[in-house]
Structure 1
Amino acid sequence: MEAHKEKILAVCNEVCKGTLMETLDIEYVDVGENFLVAKMPVTPKVYQPDGVLHGGASVALAESVGSAASYIFLDAQKFMIRGLEISANHTKSVRDGFVYAKASMIHKGRTTQLWEIKITNEEGALVSNCKLTTISLPKG
C-alpha cells in the first residue's frame, strides 16, 4: 500500500473534479491498509446561518470519503459502489480551519459494507461520528 499511496490519493482527487467534492474543496490526504482520510476547509461556503460548519456538509464529507474508500478497497473494475444509508451524530461546532474525515471499514460483506467515519477538527477533537452503509452492484 505504501508504494501506491500517492497514486491512490492522486486518482481519488482527480475524479473529484467537477463534482460536489470539488465544490466543497474536499481533498483526499492519507490512505492506509484499512482507512482513507479526507480534509475539508471550514469557510462560509459550508456554514449554516449562524456561522458554524453545517451538519449537511459534514455528512457530504463523510459519504464522500466512505464511498471513495469502498472504491479503493473493493474491486471497482467489477462493481459500482453506492451509498445505502448514512447517519451522523454531531458533537462539536467548528467555525474555521479544516475538518478531517477518516473512514474505517467495520464490515466487508460480499454485497454490503459498513464504514465508520470519524470527523475531527485540527486539534483531533471529535466533530461528528458517522456510519455509512454501501452496496457493491455488479457492473454490466
Structure 2
Amino acid sequence: MPNLPSLDQLNALGTGRLPGLIGIRFTHAERGLLRSEFTVRPELLAPNGFLHAASVVALADTTCGYGTRMLLPEAANGFTTIELKSNHLATAREGTVTCEARAVHAGRTTQVWDAEVRGPDGKVLALFRCTQAVLYSKG
C-alpha cells in the first residue's frame, strides 16, 4: 500500500479550493480514521447568526472524502459522492468545530463513511454519513 500523506500534504490539497476557503485543517490521519477542524468566523454563519449547515456538511464531507482517497483500491482513478445525509443536533457561534470521520465500509466499488461534528464544548453538532462511488477508467 502507498504511504499515507502527511498532515501538511492533506492540508495543502485544499489550498485555493473550498476546504481552504472554509479554513479546514487536518489534525490526524490514518487509514480509516481522519480528524479535522475549522475556526468559526462570520463568513461561515447563516444570516441568523448560527453556524450554517452547509459549513458543517463541508467539514464532514471533506474529511470523509480525504479518507476515501486514502483507501482507494490501487486500480481506481478517483471517486465521487453518491449520497450524503446529515442530522444537525446543535450549533455554534464561535470557537473551533471538530470532525472525526471513520470508514464503515471500504470496498472495491463503494465506500461508506460516518462522521461526527462537534462544537467547541465537545457537544455533537451533527451526525453525517456518506457513500462514495469508486471510479475506474473504462477500457
TM-score normalized by the length of structure 2: 0.90
- Match of 2:6, SS state, is helix
- Match of 2:112, SS state, is strand
List gaps (5 residues or longer) in structure 1: none
1:138 aligned onto 2:139: no
Q: Deviations over 1:27-79 (max 9, x none)?
A: 11111342001101111110011111000111111111111000012246732
RMSD: 1.7
Output the CA distance in 1 between the equivalents of 2:137 and 2:17: 22
Runs of 4+ in 1 over 6 A off after TM superposition: none
Output the CA distance in 2 between the equivalents of 1:14 and 1:75: 23
Whichever structure has more helix as a proportion of its residues is 1
TM-score normalized by the length of structure 1: 0.89
Name 2:103's counterpart in structure 1. Answer: 105
Find 1:59's aligned residue among 42, 57, 64. 57
How many residues were matched structurally?
A: 136
- Match of 2:103, SS state, is strand
Output the CA distance in 2 between the equivalents of 1:123 and 1:40: 14
Q: Percent identity?
A: 25
Larger mean Cα displacement after TM superposition, 13-22 or 73-82 = 73-82
Name 2:8's counterpart in structure 1. Answer: 10
Find 1:120's aligned residue among 118, 121, 126. 118
Instruction: Summarize the Cα distance change of 1:75–1:110 in structure 2 as closer, same or farther, 3 Å threshold.
Output: closer
List gaps (5 residues or longer) in structure 2: none
Are the aligned partners of 1:80 and 1:139 in contact in 2 as well (CA < 8 Å)? no
